[in-house]
Amino acid sequence: MNFWRNVIGAAFPLFSDRLYNNLGIHGAGSLVAGCATLLAVIPFIAFWYGGRLRKGSRFAREMAALQIVYK
Q: Are residues 34 and 1 in the same domain?
A: yes
Q: Are residues 52 and 32 in the same domain?
A: no
Number of structural domains (the chain) is 2
Q: Are residues 36 and 50 in the same domain?
A: no
Q: Could you tell me if 50 and 44 are in contact, meaning their C-beta atoms sit under 8 angstroms apart?
A: no
Q: How many residues does the chain have?
A: 71
Q: What is the pLDDT of residues 5-64, one digit of tens each?
A: 888 889 988 988 998 999 999 999 999 899 889 989 988 988 898 888 878 888 878 887
Q: Are residues 33 and 11 in the same domain?
A: yes
Residue 29's pLDDT is: 92
Sign for the CA dihedral angle at 49, 54, 58, 61 comes to negative
User: Which residue range(s) make up the domain with 12?
Assistant: 1-40
